[in-house]
Amino acid sequence: MTSSSRGTRVAGWILVPLGLVALLGALALVLGPGLRTAEPAPFGQSMTVSLPAGDAGVYVTPSDVWSQISCTAEVGGEERALRPDMTMQDLVVPQRWEARGNLAMERAGTLEITCDGPVDGGQFTVGPVVSFFTLIGAGLLGVLGAVLIVVGGVLLAVGRRRGTGTQPSSARTSW
């Protein structure tokens, strides 16, 4: 085995795991927020959630009557309005939740929220905000991970071929 083939294989063994980590990171960015939502509550009931400082997203069950769903929220006895956010995205895991809007929590506190609408069996929940930019970042990270895996795999194959001394056979054949 030559030092060139050894270096090529080492580079391949570094790139493949880095690519896998990037793919897992992209998957966590896309699916993770849906796993960190509060226990859902049925429409018409109140939910109390302790939240850290920052933005909190409000999500409802899929509905064709979007304009007829209303949510009211209170933080520390003060009524707060949901902010519509055109970059906020739906959650898909463990079930599909439609983004309704978000709340800015200046500091950690307790949120009391109620959502209601004409949806049989409708539910709502509160969780992390997933923006359009988060999805773009996850997509770019996923592409980077795939490229690293492919390049690492090619380097492993080239290093193996060089290390065994095999060269590609000639395209010429004799009859």
The 10s digit of each residue's pLDDT in 88-126 is: 999 988 889 999 999 989 899 999 999 998 888 899 999
Instruction: Write the DSSP symbol of residue 172.
Output: -
More confident residue, 163 or 7: 7
Residue 172 lies in a domain: no
Claim to verify: residue 100 and residue 116 sit in the same structural domain: yes
Q: So what's the pLDDT on residue 5?
A: 77
Q: What is the pLDDT of residues 21-65, one digit of tens each?
A: 999 999 999 999 999 999 999 999 999 999 999 999 999 987 778
Q: In the chain, count of helices (H) and strands (E)?
A: 2, 8
Q: So what's the pLDDT on residue 65?
A: 82
Claim to verify: residue 45 and residue 16 sit in the same structural domain: no
Claim to verify: residue 110 and residue 64 sit in the same structural domain: yes
**Do residues 22 and 29 touch, judged by C-beta distance below 8 A?**
no
Claim to verify: residue 96 and residue 148 sit in the same structural domain: no
- For 3-85, where are the alpha helices, taking DSSP H only? 3-35
| Mean pLDDT of the residues in the chain | 89
Residue 157 structural domain: 3-31+135-164
- The CATH number that applies at residue 66 is 2.60.120
pTM of the predicted structure, to 2 decimals: 0.78
Q: Name the residue with tokens 């570094």.
A: 14
Q: So what's the pLDDT on residue 66?
A: 75
| E-assigned strand segments in 97-145 | 98-105, 109-116, 123-127
Tokens coding 126: 């509160």
Q: So what's the pLDDT on residue 155?
A: 95
Residue 170 lies in a domain: no
β-bridge partners, 115: 71
Q: So what's the pLDDT on residue 2?
A: 73
Instruction: Write the DSSP symbol of residue 68.
Output: G
Single-letter amino acid code for the residue at 79: E
